[in-house]
Amino acid sequence: MSTRTSGSLRTYLLTRVLLFVPQVLVILTIVFILMRVAPGDPISVALGGQRTPEQLAELRAAAGYDRSIFVQYWEYITGIFTLDFGHTIIDNRPVTQIFTVNGGATLTLTAAAFLVAMVVGVPLGLLAGRFRDTPFDASLRVFGILTYAAPVFFLGLLFQLAFARGLGWLPSSSQASPIVLATVESRTNIFLVDALLAGDTSAFWNGVQHLILPALTLGLLLSGIFMRIIRINLIQTLRSDYVEAARSRGIPERKVVIQHAFRNAMVPFVTILGLQVALLMGGAILTEQTFNWNGIGSQLVRYLENRDYVAVQGVITLFALVVVTASLLIDIINAIIDPRVRY
């Protein structure tokens, strides 16, 4: 039996990975169309008024925007598959450089925020569901709604006021103190890793201190959502037929809750996790702005303000690819924990 089960798991995974290709193509096409439905070409929008019409036409031709839309589309798609996202208009830098230089900061922030969300959201959700309708549950629900409803920048500002300005416990912005940033040699563009590679523990702790407030801000936003999803799923599984059946066989209540209810409540949660990656990245843009965090998000805002279509298109493409990849990973994880998915 086990051979058939693992065989069907393999088939499922293969199909799922193959489906990834058309999924990516569709999303790239949508990004391309969205970027082109806006009137005017990218050059005129970015530099219009600053150059003469002749200069603009020259730049347009140089960048290839005078060619047919299909040629441009083909170039865009093939470019992505060869990891060429084009050059930014305002500072003529390869878009991939935004990813490599600023990606580390965003990765650090989102990973830490995700960790916060899991560590806070999952246990609180399980507790709220287990002890539903108690005052404890009620206060957790209020917490969930507040963190979800509070705008990221508002919560970020509150944290800055309280912990940086007021109590003075933690720094309020940037990835590390300026001197520390200048002294640590950049190798991976992930500051914390660089600090460890350099063997500079004080720089590392400096980085961790700077990370706490932005990670809490973004993580708490997500934790409220996590908590609510897990709570409602747990309440449903605790009411389910198989939980009652387990009780009828005299399984101790603690084991019923852990083996039958918690685990099953995690399945829909994992499914939704894929969607939360998009929220995580959207939140990262705002958090980076609030905390002056030099990641992809704050770069995106800078290029948006300057109407640099190429840079914006590149960053959006990256975000879209991350979301699609995350959903692929989630589906794979789901197939491993839930045998029914494989069919």
> Do residues 109 and 295 touch, judged by C-beta distance below 8 A?
yes
- Contact yes or no for 156/290 (Cβ under 8 A): yes
Residues 6+ apart with CB under 8 A from 171: 164, 177, 209, 210, 213
Taking CA atoms, 120 is separated from 162, 228, 232, 332, 341, in Å, by: 20, 12, 16, 25, 28
Task: Give the range of 134-142, 148-156, 252-260, 289-297 binding other proteins by CB under 8 A.
Answer: 252-260
| 185 part of the interface to other proteins, by CB under 8 A | no
Q: Toward other proteins, which CB reaches closer, 165 or 255? A: 255
Residue 252 beta carbon to other proteins: minimum distance, rounded to whole angstroms: 6
Binding mask 265-284 for other proteins (x = CB under 8 A): --x-----------------
Distance CA 121, CA 119 (A): 6
DSSP 186: -
The answer to whether residues 239 and 205 touch, using CB atoms and an 8 Å cutoff, is no
Does position 338 interact with other proteins (CB under 8 A)? The reply is yes
Size of the site for other proteins (CB under 8 A): 27
241 binds other proteins (CB under 8 A): yes
User: Residue 263, interface with other proteins (CB under 8 A)?
Assistant: yes
- 240 binds other proteins, rule: CB under 8 A: yes
Q: Residue 255 interacts with other proteins (CB under 8 A)? A: yes
Q: What tokens appear for 7 in the block?
A: 């065989």
For residue 260, state whether it binds other proteins (rule: CB under 8 A). Answer: yes
Contact flag: residue 157 with other proteins (CB under 8 A): no
Residues that bind other proteins (CB under 8 A): 1-2, 5, 240-242, 244-253, 255, 259-260, 263-264, 267, 337-340, 343
